[in-house]
Amino acid sequence: MITTLAQFLEELQEKEAEVLGSEAVKHAPTIGDMYEGLTRELVERAIPSELNLRLVDGFVLGVDGKHSHQTDAMLVMGTNGRKIPKTDKWEWPIADVLAVFEVKKNLYAKDLADSINKMRAISLQQKELLLSKNKQVHLGPSNRAFARLMGRFPEDGELDDLSSTGGEFLRTIAHEQLAPIRIVFGYSGYANELGLRDGFLDALKDVPGGLAGPAVLPNLIVCRKNALLKMNGHPYIVPDLDDGKWHLFGSTRDAPMVVLLELLWTRLSVRRQGFQES
């Protein structure tokens, strides 16, 4: 018996992936479109229509006016997106992009490095949003996550303190609150949790140009029924530092769809607080 939405999504994912895998189509872009379509269907089933969100593909528009790479799917809100003429693609301002999906039929080190590189670029697009003079951002969720990690709430001015470890941690957590959730979805590839963990470490070595800090890494990487999750406090985190070290990633081989739903619903809850216009 199916008792939860997450369980339903997992079973649907498995059955539909089997159907797609049996297709005789060998054209790589078409195969990619098939798996992207399946991922969009899964996400659409997870989000009630009453929230007036949209799942589109196209480009994230950064605060600096520059476009991201073409995304496989974006979960967006508001009405500020613009449809690119003569296409079915959209450009959407990053402040209204809730999540970005990178979909791979097969996920191995090369594919994972490519996905991490694309997600890094989107995360860096968001960097200026925290510094924007046009909006005052409510950082309550980030302050609470910081307290769980550090055992104390931030001090006044700590966010802008470039010389302290606490300031660096707080800026990273605040960045994660504002940046779109970045999700990498692989339908085949690493067969088990350990393989995915080792592959992730290998992929980090192959990301072109380096990483530019932990904030740019994806929030969730799913391959088959295994997942890697960033413990950034939105909502998951390992309480307290371990000898000054932040346990930034965890893994699971059970219920990745539950994790995906937790990430999306946490983001929606935070966004209800919105921005306070200055």
Reported as a single tens digit per residue, the pLDDT across 109-144 is 888 998 888 888 888 877 666 555 445 668 899 999
User: What is the pLDDT, as a whole number, of residue 275?
Assistant: 46
CB atoms within 10 A of CB 67: 13
Q: What is the mean pLDDT of residues 9-38?
A: 65
User: What is the pLDDT, as a whole number, of residue 231?
Assistant: 96
> Is residue 8's pLDDT more than 90?
no
> Is residue 26's pLDDT more than 70?
no
pLDDT category at 186 given cuts 50, 70, 90 is: confident
Mean pLDDT of the chain: 83
pLDDT digits (tens, 9 = 90+) for 235-270: 999 998 988 889 999 999 888 888 888 898 899 888
Share of the chain above pLDDT 90, in %: 36
pTM listed for this prediction:
0.84
User: What is the pLDDT, as a whole number, of residue 232?
Assistant: 94
pLDDT digits (tens, 9 = 90+) for 210-238: 676 888 899 999 998 899 999 999 999 99
pLDDT digits (tens, 9 = 90+) for 34-60: 667 777 777 777 777 777 888 888 999
Residue type at 192 in one-letter notation: N
pLDDT category at 82 given cuts 50, 70, 90 is: very high
> Is residue 145's pLDDT more than 50?
yes
pLDDT category at 168 given cuts 50, 70, 90 is: very high
